[in-house]
Amino acid sequence: MTAKRTRANGEGSIFPYRSGFAAYVWVTKPDGKRTRKYVYGKTREDVHDKWIKLHAQAKAGPVATKVPRLGEYVTGWLEEVVRPNVAPLTYATYETFTRLYIIPGLGPARLDRLQVRDVQTWLNKIRETCQCCAQGKDAARPAAKRRCCALGRCCQDTLSGRSISDIRAVLRSALSSAITEDLITKNVAAAVKLPTARSRKRKAWSGDEARRFLESARADDDPFYAAYVLVLVLGLRKGEVLGLAWDDVDLDSAELAIGWQVQRVRRKLLRRETKTEGSDATLPLPAICVTALRHRQVRQQRAKATAGNSWQDSGLVFTTRYGTPIEPRNFNRSYDRRIAKAGVRDITVHDARRTCGTLLADLDVHPRVAMTILRHAQFSITMEIYTQVSSEATRAALKKLGESLDG
């Protein structure tokens, strides 16, 4: 009696296996060695489809025969790929998103078995979950200070659309790396749908508000007066101001070089290069900036003399009374207090720098100089800003701001 044929024509490698079927294809591994890779299924049709796909993968290039789980892979990816190649703060952000969201939600899944639906469902759940409950934030407080979720009053501390997008971006980057390593062939995170994020309306002060803010700081001899001038007149970022060293400033030539920043990365205060080469520049200093920086120099020399042996020479323009770098959060607090004293609209430091173009026009800085400061590629863009100047009274007051500090 002839044995019943268990393989169709052309399927030579499909065979019965346990309670279903299996098949194999000869593949080349990423290390260049040849080996068999198996696929399994309950029916011949299932296995045949997998076998056809495996053949296609084998023809396209190297195929991994042992695929790690997502949690295992992203842990190694963070240490071997991310940490050596990105800024410390970027690594810290990636690590936080991975530890709090990606590994708990998708960590057990095998890389090659992760589906678009899995990622979509996971992100949908994160978007609806109160993070105070999920991470035990309120429960971690002393009993006397608990105020919401630990007491049964959920605060609905859900993530913003921007945070959800950032989490997806970290997973997408990790899976792109896995494709490069020939562990998978498709980035399922790229196909996930997210709600369209609404961009926040940008804020900026008028020339009059900026003048009132700076006049208030100057009248009180605020130690950060020069820092506020650099943010508003040159458009410097907070980290760039706090990372500015006297070696980067040439008051005689009225120039300032941007190339460093101060950042708080978890428990460390770091001075490091700016994020991109595009952030680096040598900028001309309008007169108000020169005057403010000269005053800052005198003030710092007084502080150094007072501190005596306790002074720690960091070489920075803006320091504590002992010469150490300024904590960014402390700068924010001082900035917020100054806003309250000046009686102007409450906007962030990052928004305040958007006032730069208006102030340059009000200070009668030459458009070509302003174009360099604003880093515009086209002169016409600068001129559009220069058509929106403040009142004559505001412009005159701004130009006199630094006069009381001369000498």
Question: What is the per-residue pLDDT for 317?
Answer: 95
User: Domain limits of the chain?
Assistant: 14-60, 70-191, 207-405
Q: Which two tokens stand for residue 135?
A: 């991470």
pTM of the model: 0.69
Place of tokens 């049964």: 152
Rank 21-35, 125-139, 279-293 by mean pLDDT and report only the highest.
Answer: 125-139
Summarised one tens digit per residue, pLDDT across range 267-281 is 888 888 876 655 567
What H or E segment, with its residue span, contains residue 293? helix 287-307
Question: What is the per-residue pLDDT for 183?
Answer: 80
Question: What is the per-residue pLDDT for 384?
Answer: 62
Summarised one tens digit per residue, pLDDT across range 5-23 is 444 444 457 899 888 899 9
Virtual CA dihedral for 381, 384, 390, 391, nearest 10 degrees? Answer: 150
Query: What mean pLDDT comes out for the span 70-93?
Result: 92
Question: What is the per-residue pLDDT for 5?
Answer: 46
Question: What is the per-residue pLDDT for 10?
Answer: 41
HSE-CB for 127 with a 13 A CA cutoff: 16
Size of the chain, expressed as the number of residues it contains:
407
Domain 70-191: CATH architecture, name and number where available: Orthogonal Bundle (1.10)
Summarised one tens digit per residue, pLDDT across range 194-239 is 887 666 667 788 888 888 999 999 999 999 999 999 998 888 889 9
What H or E segment, with its residue span, contains residue 301? helix 287-307
Of 196, 191, 194, nearest to 116 (Cα)? 191
Summarised one tens digit per residue, pLDDT across range 150-205 is 888 899 999 988 899 999 999 999 999 998 877 887 899 999 998 876 666 677 88
- Is residue 248 within 8 A of residue 277, CB to CB? The reply is no
Residue of 315 and 382 predicted with greater confidence: 315
Domain 207-405: CATH architecture, name and number where available: Orthogonal Bundle (1.10)
- Identical topology for domains 70-191 and 207-405: no
Query: What mean pLDDT comes out for the span 348-358?
Result: 81
